[in-house]
Amino acid sequence: MGSGIIGVGLSALQAAQFGLQTTEHNIANVNTPGFSRQRTIQASNFAQQTGSGFFGQGTHVVTVERMYSRFLNDQVNRSQSSTSQLDSYAAQITQINNLLADPTTGLSPALQGFFTSAQEVAANPSQLASRQIMIANAQTLSTRYQSMGDQLAQMYDGVNGQIEATVTSINANIKQIALLNQQISVAQAATSQPANDLLDTRDQLVLDLNKLIKAKTTTNSDGSYNVFIGSGQQLVAGSITMDLATMRSPGDPSRRVVGQESVTGDHEIPESLLSGGSLGGLLAFRSESLDQASNELGRNAASLALTFNAQSALGQDLLGQSQISPAPPALSSFTPDLFLVSPPKVIANTNNPPGSPTVSATFVNPPPFNGNFYTDLGSSDYRLSADASGVTLTRLSDNKQWSGADLGVLNTNLASDPQGFTLDPSPTLLEGSSYLIQPTRDAARKITVNPAVVADASLITAAGPIRTSTGATNTGLAKVSAGSVAAGYATAVAGMPMSLVYQGGKLQNFPVGAQVSINGAAPVVIAASTDVVPYTSGATIAFLDPLTSTPGFSFTLTGVPNNGDTFSIARNSGALADGRNALVLAQLQTQQTMSGKSSSFQEAYAQLVSQTGSKTNQIQVSGAAQQALLTQAQNNRESLSGVNLEEEAANLILYQQAYQAAAKALQIGSSLFETILQMAA
């Protein structure tokens, strides 16, 4: 009887001791990340059968159980992955938003200052000071483009570095998970009991992994985890790891991409499969926002340079030089381009077949529109590929395609749906080759002011190259407008100087071979100087470019002329005070020069700022909402797994009392046993 009492007391004492130890362990780890509250699971020992019935033999601790829910844990992992992705994205895009929207360092003030100085040149074309101010403002504008472009380029370098650091952290993390897998398998196999603290440590590592990339786990029969990402790419299989790697993208060597190591080399993983965590945020930011901002800023710079240069080419500088009246070589050569911009960037895929040719692209000369010019440049990149059937150009923003048997045919097909650039038709692409075309990616970084114009402000083409006048002996009241020129005007007015004569309601004495159109009607081809064109007051008379049949030079006659009145069209010599072309240049600020004649420079830039600001706000709002979901998921998990100090304090008292009671039972049992021994003696 005494031995039974002592055995039961010992079991009670041990159970209370284990309970105290477990409670103290919980209290000690109240602030340990990922720790799950533990509790002892007790069961009664088999009762002893006697003639008087079954007498209990005490208790034993079956196991130490951690308060854990796979479902709640997975919720925390998923929420953490999404939160980390949005936090990473927000940290990056906020930099772009601050860069573009800054009222002092943004692009808008520099654009405004430049076009204001162009207006000053239009008002004071003979003053070198106003021209020099315009050049200084052009340099300020180009420097602003360069600075913003350089900062975006630095962000690419920063993203590359962060991708490499994140992949390094992922690999370190999965190695620790694999090591814990091995330790857990050995420990649980040896004891057939759960290795609670090791399991908590491994789950915390999985949570940390989800901060880096979205990961899913499955459990093997030995208790080890398999870890997957994407569409099933395995990172951990028991104690084996399949590390990630960073590499240069074959399509764009300046871009770091993520792949997976294998015995046959590193294989790139599509970015669409690498979602979640800070890595997913970096990749999404780069493809969605950084590429867009860089291309849009470059599109703005390229469109400004191309349209401004196109209009400059229609003017005449202070030395009297133009397309139709170059000065003697001793003076200078005609230099109409104020801005210099790099051509579209074409990058050959590093996996192209040996001997693949180099491909180049050029910007399309801006088409005229409403007396000005515009570009069809977009903000997308393109992929050029070749196969057995020919070549295909794919716009990557929406996967629209243009095809042709060769590059020449492809250019012809592009003409009906212009993208603002053409490809050099001479190379013959090899089957299986691929090229990445970035029309505007580097345009902002590389736009500069023509050094020849910087050195000589008189080269600014402020004047119009042609002037009109009425005859000194005219007796009628008809007046002739100053006229305007368009691309191709040099061939349209190749017969200058000319003196048109009014006679009997008609104009005559046009140069032989000229093509003349009245108010846009079908042109009249002048076969002889006696050929006539009807006169209508206020009608626009245009000389067409014989090569393109588009207006080259146009003017308007108004009023009533008398027979014999003459109207002269001649080279604009000695035009020091003429600011007609500078005025048109200044008006480019408000013209629809971009997006296929749908927006101005400042409107397009404002749209970029608005889109970036909207995206930034969207990411921040989504991040706040996701953070709330993460907090909720963590609270749900903590309600089950977290340590409650008040509850643990109550458990301490409970187990203390149980321990004391068990000790008292042992004391009584010991006393009874001694009494029996004394009686036997």
Distance CA 56, CA 61 (A): 15
Q: Tokens standing for 646?
A: 């008040």
CB 134 within 8 Å of CB 117: yes
Q: Tokens standing for 33?
A: 């990340």
The residues that bridge with 44 in the sheet, in sequence order, are 59
The pLDDT score that the predictor gives to residue 1 is 42
Please, where are the H alpha helices in 354-464? 407-415, 443-446, 451-455
Q: Which residue has the tokens 């009906």?
A: 416
Distance CA 302, CA 296 (A): 10
User: For residue 369, which of 597, 49, 104 has the smallest C-alpha distance?
Assistant: 597
Distance CA 371, CA 483 (A): 12
Distance CA 199, CA 206 (A): 11
Q: In this structure, how many other beta carbons lie within 10 angstroms of the beta carbon of residue 168?
A: 14
End-to-end CA, the chain: 18
Torsion sign across C-alpha atoms 428, 434, 439, 445? negative
Distance CA 486, CA 155 (A): 42
Residue 365: strand, helix, or coil: coil
List all residues 6 or more positions away from 304 whose beta carbon is below 8 Å from its beta carbon: 141, 339, 447, 593, 601
Q: Which residue has the tokens 């990411």?
A: 619
Per DSSP, 220 falls in state -
- What pLDDT digit, counting tens, does each position of 93-112 carry? 999 999 998 888 889 999 99
Q: Tokens standing for 556?
A: 């308007």
Show the CA angle centred on residue 66, arms to residues 62 and 70, nearest 5°.
125
Q: Encode 437-479 in three state secondary structure.
A: EECCCCHHHHCEECHHHHHCHHHCCCECCEEEEECCCCCCCCE
CB 561 within 8 Å of CB 476: yes
pTM of the predicted model as reported, rounded to 2 decimal places: 0.89
- What pLDDT digit, counting tens, does each position of 118-133 carry? 999 999 999 999 999 9
The residues that bridge with 599 in the sheet, in sequence order, are 594
Per DSSP, 352 falls in state S
Q: Kindly list the distances between the CA atom of residue 339 and the CA atoms of 141, 592, 641, in Å, as whole numbers in the listed order.
A: 10, 19, 66
Q: Which amino acid is at 91?
A: A
pLDDT beneath 50, residues of the chain = 1-3
Distance CA 246, CA 269 (A): 10
Residue 348: strand, helix, or coil: strand
The residue count of the chain comes to 681
List all residues 6 or more positions away from 671 whose beta carbon is below 8 Å from its beta carbon: none
Burial of 438-477, coded b for 16+ CB within 10 Å and e otherwise, reads bbbbbbbbbbbbbeebbebbbbbbbbbbbbbebbeebeee
Per DSSP, 589 falls in state G
